[in-house]
């Protein structure tokens, strides 16, 4: 796993996240993949920006190849955006932070993210 501070998930952990209401961005990657490594700082920024609003996770296709197969991931990096457990967006290859932000914000808005925050308000 690339040491990013972003949680790397496998099948059971991703399924638990997808069973909850909300938005999940899953970065399907491999440690040996140069474009994946190039996207790491962007993914880290997204995780920080959307903390408490959306989950941003990494899926190592070498360790969780069953997930890659389940979701039809054939090239990496692939970004899957889930809303309420369903794939709603897919980006294959490198992309911009703005494009990923737009995807996440669009679906947070559709779900009414203020009601779906992951951490309780005090």
Q: Write down all domains in the chain, each with its CATH number in brackets.
A: 11-113 (3.40.30.10)
CA–CA distance, 90 with 117 (Å, rounded to integer): 23
pLDDT tens per residue, the chain (122 residues)? 344 468 899 999 999 999 988 999 999 999 999 999 999 999 999 999 999 999 999 999 999 999 999 999 999 999 999 999 999 999 999 999 999 999 999 999 876 644 444 544 34
CA–CA distance, 88 with 67 (Å, rounded to integer): 16
Residue 36 designated active-site: yes
CA–CA distance, 102 with 38 (Å, rounded to integer): 20
**Considering 33, 87, 88, 116, which one is annotated as catalytic?**
33
Residue 33 designated active-site: yes
State both tokens at 81.
Answer: 């955006």
């Amino acid at each position: 796993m690339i040491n990013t501070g972003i949680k790397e998930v496998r099948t059971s952990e991703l399924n638990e996240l997808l069973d909850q209401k909300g938005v999940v961005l899953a970065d399907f990657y491999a440690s040996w993949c140069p474009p994946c490594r190039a996207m790491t700082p962007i993914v880290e920024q997204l995780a920080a920006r959307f903390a408490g609003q959306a989950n941003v996770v990494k899926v190592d296709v070498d360790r969780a190849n069953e997930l890659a197969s389940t979701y039809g991931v054939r090239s990496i990096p692939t970004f899957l955006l889930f809303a309420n457990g369903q794939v709603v967006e897919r980006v294959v290859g490198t992309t911009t932070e703005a494009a990923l932000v737009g995807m996440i914000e669009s679906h947070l808005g559709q779900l009414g993210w203020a009601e779906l925050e992951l951490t309780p308000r005090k």
